[in-house]
């Protein structure tokens, strides 16, 4: 998946819907081998630009997730 494809998928989410992406797929979209603090910050900014929030649980038990804001 490319960054443009991710942006398109986020744009088409219904309010309140979520999209999970494996960390191994997400890091390369943002030009990295793994999710570092700087990459996570870039992903969060990317999400906000698309009216979404991004969550990453560092316990390794959940998959990174984008959630579409429920307000327009």
pLDDT tens digits, 17-29: 999 998 889 999 9
Higher pLDDT, 67 or 57: 67
Residue numbers of the domain that contains 42: 3-68
Instruction: State the pLDDT at residue 62.
Output: 74
Cα–Cα distance between 58 and 66 in angstroms, integer?
15
pTM: 0.87
And the tokens for 9? 């998928």
Mean predicted lDDT score pLDDT of the chain: 90
Q: 6: how many CB neighbours lie within 10 A of its CB?
A: 21
Q: Report the domain count for the chain.
A: 1
């Amino acid at each position: 998946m490319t960054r443009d494809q991710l942006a398109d998928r986020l744009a088409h989410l219904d309010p309140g819907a979520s999209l999970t992406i494996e960390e191994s797929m997400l890091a390369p979209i943002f030009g990295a081998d793994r999710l570092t603090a700087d990459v996570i910050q870039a992903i969060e900014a990317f999400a906000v630009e698309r009216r979404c929030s991004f969550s990453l649980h560092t316990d390794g038990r959940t998959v990174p997730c984008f959630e579409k804001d429920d307000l327009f």
